[in-house]
Chains A and B, each alone.
Chain A
Amino acid sequence: EADIYQTPRYLVIGTGKKITLECSQTMGHDKMYWYQQDPGMELHLIHYSYGVNSTEKGDLSSESTVSRIRTEHFPLTLESARPSHTSQYLCASSPPQGQPQHFGDGTRLSIL
């Protein structure tokens, strides 16, 4: 039962397009995260937020940007998609410190 929703689930799009991946959660969590995961590989944190108007870059450098205007919404944007951006993008949220993260089902992005 998902309390965190990602859309679209799959996206195939051409090089140079602007893309926004949506992530919304209904749990009122202040903390939200974006991970990038290639098939069969580990998760890499690319962005995180500790609340409204707070965004930070993660451990893996990414050309994407994020915004956090509302608690429940944490979209990720790629201004000009390239084939190197092909990957799965996972969004997560968590309650205060020390609690587990809740994940969406991800967006599988393929740039042609």
Chain B
Amino acid sequence: SQQGEEDPQALSIQEGENATMNCSYKTSINNLQWYRQNSGRGLVHLILIRSNEREKHSGRLRVTLDTSKKSSSLLITASRAADTASYFCATDATGANSKLTFGKGITLSVRP
């Protein structure tokens, strides 16, 4: 089964609201990464959080990691219509030598 499982599967919010997406995983990790994919395009890396970190910020993005619960959350604050995309978490498992395992993704729709 997939290492990363995101929830919810789909999220629809109004512009200006915050969006919170969650990811759970099963094994020990070196780091966890979040990616964004616009329709018909490749993935773009957003943020990486290492296993010894608990929280990380990048602009309007905030990522948390709880290794005891094997879970992570991605918060997008003050969302914009341009944030509409699919978001994936990916885990770099211990011993996987940089091979990432991706979750099924969350489809975020931000209504203008």
Q: Which residues of A contact B (CB under 8 A)?
A: 2, 4, 6, 31, 33, 35, 40-43, 45, 48, 50, 58-59, 90, 92, 94, 96-106, 108
B41 near A105 with CB under 8 A, answer yes
Q: A42-B2, A43-B102 are in contact. Are A98 and B42 (CB under 8 A)?
A: no
| B33 neighbours in A (Cβ, 8 Å) | 100
Question: What's the count of A-B pairs with C-beta under 8 Å?
Answer: 63
Q: Which residues of B contact A (CB under 8 A)?
A: 2, 30-31, 33, 35, 40-45, 48, 50, 86, 88, 92, 97-105, 107
Q: Determine how close the nearest CB of chain A comes to the CB of B34; give it in whole angstroms.
A: 10
B44 near A42 with CB under 8 A, answer no
B104 near A42 with CB under 8 A, answer yes
Most buried by B among A40, A42, A58, A102: A42
Task: Tell me the bound Cα distance from A104 to B105 in angstroms.
Answer: 18
Most buried by A among B30, B33, B42, B45: B42
B48 near A100 with CB under 8 A, answer yes
